[in-house]
Structure 1
Amino acid sequence: MGLPIIEKAGVAHKIDFREGNALPLLDQLLQDENNKGTFDFIFVDADKNNYLNYHKRVIDLVKVGGLIGYDNTLWSGSVAAPPDTPMLNFVRELRDYVIELNKYLAQDSRIEICQLPVGDGITLCRRIN
C-alpha cells in the first residue's frame, strides 16, 4: 500500500522503505551503528502486544528532535475505562498492552509526548535526548 503512493508522489529517492516482520527488521537496523539516531520519523501501527518492544528499539533509531508516532493509543477509549466495563473481546485482550505502553511513554525521560484524541488515539513522541 505505502510504496506505490511514495513512488507516485515522486519521493521514493528520499525514503528508505522497508517491509517485513518489524521486530527482526528493527533488530537488523540496530546492528549497524550507522543507523542509530538517523531517522526523522517512525510511525508504529502494529501488533499492540509488541508496542513496548517496538519503542525500546525505535527510540535508538530516531534522531534527537525526531518523531515517533504510535497509532491506537486510546484503544477505543478502553484505556480510560474501568476494568469491568463491557467491551469487545479483542479490545479487552489488548487493552493492557496499550496501557503499558502509555505508562512507559509517560515516564520515558528521553522523549516528550502528546496524545491526540483523534480517532482511536495517536501519540506523538519527540526525542529530546
Structure 2
Amino acid sequence: MEEESSKRTAPPPPSKGLLQTPELYQYVLETSVFPREPQQLKELRDLTATHPRAMMATAPDAAQLMGLLIKLIDAKKTIEVGVFTGYSLLLTALSIPHDGKDFVRQEGNEGSYDFAYVDADKVNYWNYHERLMKLVRVGGIIAYDNTLWGGTVAIPPDSVAGSHRGGTEATIQFNKSLAADPRVDISLTPLGDGITICRRIY
C-alpha cells in the first residue's frame, strides 16, 4: 500500500510533449510505456535523467512507437543520424531480429536500409532526408525527432527565444518541405517533441 501511495505522489518526469497535464503524461508512461520497457532501456533512461541536458533524449513514448514500427515492417537493417546517450539506438537494437544490423551515420548501398531515425542538427534535416531517400528502400520508414521544436513552430516568431529561433525556422521549413514531398507518406505525431514518420513510396 505504501509503495502504491508513493507511486501516486512521486513527481512525474518532465514532458517534452503536448500533454500539458503532468498527471496525464505520467498516466501514459505508467500504463503503456514503462510496463513494457526493457530493463536495459530503463537503466539507460534513469542514467540519462541525471545529465544536465537530459531533455535532448528521445522521449520514451515516442521511442515505444518507433520500436513498434520497426517490428511492423520487420526491419533488419537500420541507420541512425544523431545519438545522445544512445536510448533510441539501444531501443532499435533491441527491436530488430538477432540477425539485424544497426548503423550510426554509416552509409550502405542505396535502398539497403529498412528504417532510419534522425535526431541531429535541425538545419541539416532536409539534407539528411535527401540522402536517406536514396538509402532507405521503398516501403521503408524514416522517423524525424523534434518536428514540433518545443511548440515554437506554432507561435509568432518574435515570441521565440533567440537561442531557439534558428531551430524553429529550420523545423518550420523542413515540415513544409516534407508535406510537399510526393515521395513519402507522412504523419507528424505529437509524441515527445514531435516525431514525423515518413514511409517511402518511390
Instruction: State the TM-score, normalizing by the size of structure 1.
Output: 0.77
RMSD over aligned CA atoms reads: 2.3
Point out which structure has higher relative CO (alpha carbons under 8 A, 6+ apart): 1
Q: Map residues 60-71 of structure 1 onto 2, 5 A cutoff.
A: 60-71=134-145
Amino acid at match of 2:139: G
Counterpart check, 1:105 vs 2:178 = yes
Q: What does the per-residue CA deviation read over 1:40-92, in whole Å, with 9 as the maximum and x for residues that have no partner?
A: 1000000111111100100111111110000000000111111122x333322
Counterpart check, 1:117 vs 2:190 = yes
What's 2:103 paired with? Answer: 18
Deviation at 1:12, TM superposition (A): 5.8
Equivalent residue in structure 2 for 1:96, among 169, 176, 187: 169
What's 2:133 paired with? Answer: 59
Distance change in 2, residues 1:72/1:82 (3 Å):
same
Q: Which structure 1 residue ranges, 5 or more long, are not aligned?
A: 30-34
Give structure 1 regions of 4+ aligned residues with deviation exceeding 6 angstroms: none
Instruction: State the TM-score, normalizing by the size of structure 2.
Output: 0.51
Amino acid at match of 2:132: V
Distance change in 2, residues 1:100/1:14 (3 Å):
same
